[in-house]
A and B are shown apart, each in its own frame.
Chain A
C-alpha cells in the first residue's frame, strides 16, 4: 500500500520535530509500562508502519465505549484517529451516512481484506432473527459475520462485546450474545469494562501497532497487561481492608477517612481491571477513590451477581432471593430442629427399651 504514509511521516509533516517524536515514543513506552529500552523499537515501528485500517461496528450497546475512546489522553483520541489508525467506518463519528457509509465500509473491506482490525462495540441479539438490532435494513449479526470474515483480528470493546453486558442480564430478552460466541474463527481480544478505560483501549491498539502482534491474553482472552490483576490487588484502600477498617454505612466517619468499601459491596476483590492503577480520565479518580464500591463492571455477568451493595450476594444463580448465609442459616436451622426432635424421640425410645428389658436381654430382641 504505497499511498499510505507512516505514522512518523504524519507527525513530521505536522511540524513535529524528531526530538518531540522521540519524546512521544518514550511516553508511549511508559504508558505501556515498558522501560526506556523499548523506545527505539517503538520509534522504528512508528517510522515504518502505515496507518492500520480499523472498522468499528456497533451492535446493541450504549455507545459508552466510543465515548470512553474519545476521552483518551495519551495518546489523544485525535492523534489516534488522525495519525495512528485509519478509522474507516465508525457510526458515531463518520461523516457519511446511509448508502455512502455502507459504500465506505465495502471499499475498506475489499481494499484491506485480511489486514484490517475489526473493533466491535456492543453485541448482536439473536432472537427475532436478529432484528432487535437492524443496520441497513438487515440484522446486525449478519453484518458482524460479514465484516469479521476479512478481519485480521477482532477487538471486543467493553462488557457488551466481551460478555453481553446489561442487555444480556437476566432474562436477556433479545438474546444478546457476546462476539466470541458468534465469531469463532478469528483471534479475539476482549477489552471488558463498562466502559473500558480510554487509555486501556488506546494502549491495546498502540501495543498491536508497535509490536505488530496481539497482546498476551489471560485465560478469558483479556490482555494480561491490563487485566492481569484485580482492582483489590492494587487498591490504595487495601491497608484498611487488611486492618479490618471498613466503611460501615454511607457517609459515616470511616467513609470520610477513606476506609475500605468491602462492606458496602465492593467487588474489587473479584474484578480484573486497571482502574486502581491507571485510574479514570487521566488518573483523576476511579470508582473506589470517589467513595463507591467497584461494581465489577469488567467481569462476565456482573449484572446478575445480586445487589451491588451486598458482599455476600443473593443467589440469583439458583432463583432464590436470599444470600448464602440466609440460605445456610435456614438449612442449618431446619437440620438442627430435626435433630432436636430426633434426639427427643431417640431418648424416649431408649427410655422405653430400658424399662421393657434388662440389659442382658438386649440381644434377644429381633
Chain B
C-alpha cells in the first residue's frame, strides 16, 4: 500500500479489473482498477491508448494553417482547438481581431459548449444511469405526468407521444437486433430509475439526437460546416453585409435570423429538457456520491469568452479563470500560462522521452518524442497487454502539472473556481440547484456534481450566446461590419522569431496551445489539452491524475460489470484523441 503525495491510498492487490475499450468516449482508452473483497476500488490506472503526433506534424508549417491541423485533434470538441490555435498565433504575431470577430468566435465556442454538453449527457453518459430496456415497462401515462411535473413547458409530453416512442423501442428490442444497446448492463442493480423516468430519458435521448444537428448550424453559418468549421488568423472568414448589394453572399439578415432562432432552441432545450432531466435523474441517485477525486482539492480553469476583443485578462472573461489547490476554496490563485514555473508536462509514466527522468517542461520548450515501452510487471506481451504495469510508462497521455499539482479541469472545475471567486451567474445557478435538490455544497465534489455542473454551464452558455448575438447586431447597427484584420496577414510583416500562447475553455476544460514561430514557420507547437490534465497518468512524484483519483474508493455492485467505472469516467467526458493528439 502506498499513499500518494496527493493523498490517495493505493493498493494494487485484490482483483484486477480491466476495461478496454472504454466506450462512449472519444478515442481509445483503457482503465484498470484493483477492487478489494467488498468490491471497492483501491487502485486505479487510466491509459490513453492512441497517439497521432500532431505536434510533430505541425513543425515547419505555415502558422496560419495551424488551426486546421489542430482542429482535427478532435471532431467532438470541434472548433475549440482551432480557436485556441488562432489565438496562439495572433498572440505571437501581435495580431488583433475586430469586435465582430470576437462576438462570432464567442458564439461559436459557446455553441460548441452547449452542443457538446447535450450530446455528452444524452448520448455518452445517460446510459450509465438510464436503462432503455426498463423503459419498456413504463406506463406512458405516468411518464407523461412525470414529464409535465418536471418540465411543464416542454411541448412533447402527451401519453400518446411516449407510447409511440415506447412502441418503437419495443419493436427494436423484440427484433433481436439490439444494436447499440447490446450487452449493456441492464440487469445490474446499480440502475435505480423507475420505468417512467427511464422512458422519459430514453425519449429525450432521441429528441436530443434530433436537436443536436440543429444546434451546430451556428458553426455552419459562420464556419461553413460542422464538424470542423473554418477559422481565420486575424478574425473570422465570414464577411458581414447586411445593407447592400451582394449581401446574400455574406452574413446577412436571413443568416442572423437563423442564428437567433437556433440560440432560442438551445435556450429552450436547456430549460425544458436538459436541466429538468439532470434534476430528475440526479434525484434518484442522490446517494451515489462517489467520484469526487481531485475536484475537492485541485481544480483549474483558464477562463474564456472575452467580453471585449483582444483582452484575455481574467477580468474580461465570462467563464472564470483561476486555480484552487489543497482544497482551499478561500484562495483562488492566478493562472499565468506563460510562467515556466506554473505549467509543466512530465513523461515519466508516459510513452515519451525527455532524456532525463523527473524532468518537467513548459510547453514553449516542450518536446514530443514517442517512446513506447512497457514495464517489467506487464502481464501479456508487447502487442497483447493483459495487465499494464503502472510503475513504468503506461500511457500515451503526458502528465501536465500546475505548480507540481495534478489538476482537474472541466465544467465542474470552472464552476468551483467561479463559485469560489464569487462569479455572480455561477453562484446563483449553483445555489439554485443545490436548493432545488436539497443538497449541501459538498455534493458538488462528485461524479454527479460534474454532470450537474455541465448542465448548468450549458444553460449559462445559452444565455451568453444570446448576449453576444445582441452585441454583434448592435455593433453592426453602429456601422461596424468588419470581421478580419489583415494588417499582418502577409508573413513578410512578421518578426523573424516570435512565440505565443492561446487559451480557451473547451467543453472538457482548460485548453492551451503554445507556439514558437521562426522565419514564418512553426518551430515548435505544443498543446496541453483538458483530457491531458484529467486523464494524466502518474508523475515522477507518484501523484495520480484526475480520472484515477475519481475512481478511488468507489464501490462496485458487480466488479465484472464496470457500470460505476463508466459513470465516473464518463462524468469527465473523456476525449482521448484530444488528450494525446
Contact = CB atoms under 8 A, between A and B. Distances in A.
Q: Do chains A and B touch in the complex (CB under 8 A)?
A: yes
Interface in B530-581: 560-562, 566, 577
B224 A290 contact: yes
B353 interface: no
Contacts of A27: none
B182 A94 contact: yes
B238 interface: yes
Contacts of B177: 4, 51, 53, 86, 88
B234 A250 contact: yes
B353 to A, nearest CB: 13
B282 interface: no
Interface in A294-338: 295, 297, 303, 307-309, 321
Interface centre among A67, A90, A107, A282 (most CB of B within 10 A): A67
B221 interface: yes
Given A81-B180, A195-B227, A295-B68, A93 B123 contact: yes
Contacts of A139: 383
Contact of A173 (B57, B167, B184, B217): B57
A100 B74 CA distance: 26
Nearest to A82: B172
A133 B50 contact: yes
Contact of A61 (B21, B56, B185, B577): B577
A198 B213 CA distance: 10
A63 B26 contact: yes
A104 B127 CA distance: 17
Interface string A130-158: 11111111111010000000000000000
Interface in A60-77: 60-68, 70-73, 76-77
B239 A284 contact: no
Contacts of B248: 258
A361 interface: no
Contacts of A308: 64-65, 68
Contacts of A3: 175-176
B250 A255 contact: yes
Interface in A1-27: 3-5, 9-10, 13-15
Interface residues of B, number: 109
Interface string B175-218: 11101111111000000000000000000001001101100110
A62 B577 contact: yes
Given A87-B180, A286-B224, A291-B239, A250 B72 contact: no
Nearest to B58: A169
A292 interface: yes
A309 B64 CA distance: 8
Interface residues of A, number: 107
Given A10-B175, A93-B123, A171-B57, A284 B51 contact: no
B64 A250 contact: no
Nearest to A303: B69
A265 to B, nearest CB: 10
B561 A251 contact: no
B225 A135 contact: no
A167 B124 CA distance: 25
B18 A280 contact: no
Interface in B358-386: 370, 372, 380, 382-386
Contacts of B423: none
B489 A257 contact: no
A95 B182 contact: yes
A92 B26 contact: yes
B182 A63 contact: no
Interface string A261-287: 000000000000001000011101111
Contacts of B179: 81-82, 85-88
A119 interface: no
A96 B184 contact: yes
Interface in B102-148: 119, 123-124, 127
B216 A71 contact: yes
A137 B75 contact: no
Interface stretch (B424-432, B467-475, B477-485, B495-503): B477-485
B21 A95 contact: no
Contacts of A138: 383-385
Interface in B227-266: 227-230, 232, 234-241, 244-250, 258
Given A173-B53, A174-B53, A256-B250, A5 B232 contact: no
A174 B52 contact: yes
A90 B76 CA distance: 15
Contacts of B489: 249-250
A92 B230 contact: no
Contact of B180 (A63, A94, A129, A137): A94
B16 interface: no
A201 B20 CA distance: 28
A246 to B, nearest CB: 13
Given A251-B483, A256-B246, A292 B57 contact: no
Contacts of A342: none
Nearest to B76: A63
A253 to B, nearest CB: 9
B189 to A, nearest CB: 16
Given A101-B21, A170-B57, A307-B64, A290 B75 contact: no
A251 B20 contact: no
A173 B56 contact: yes
A100 B52 contact: no
B318 interface: no
Given A14-B167, A256-B241, A135 B64 contact: no
A137 B562 CA distance: 17
B557 to A, nearest CB: 15
Given A97-B21, A285-B224, A292 B237 contact: yes
A194 B72 contact: yes
Contact of B72 (A78, A92, A165): A165
B46 interface: no
Nearest to A76: B210
A321 B62 CA distance: 10
Contact of A72 (B213, B250, B382): B213
Contact of A65 (B20, B75, B240): B75
6 shortest interchain CB distances as A-B pairs? A258-B249, A64-B75, A257-B246, A95-B184, A287-B224, A290-B224
Interface of B: 18-28, 30, 49-54, 56-57, 62, 64-65, 68-69, 72-76, 78, 119, 123-124, 127, 164, 167-168, 170-172, 174-177, 179-185, 206, 209-210, 212-213, 216-217, 219-230, 232, 234-241, 244-250, 258, 370, 372, 380, 382-386, 396, 481-484, 486, 489, 521, 560-562, 566, 577
Given A61-B577, A167-B54, A255-B250, 9 more contacts: A4-B176, A71-B226, A93-B180, A95-B23, A134-B50, A139-B383, A287-B225, A290-B220, A309-B62
21 contacts: A10-B168, A10-B175, A13-B167, A13-B168, A62-B75, A63-B27, A63-B75, A70-B119, A71-B227, A87-B179, A95-B185, A131-B372, A134-B30, A137-B384, A167-B53, A172-B57, A251-B235, A251-B482, A256-B240, A256-B249, A290-B229
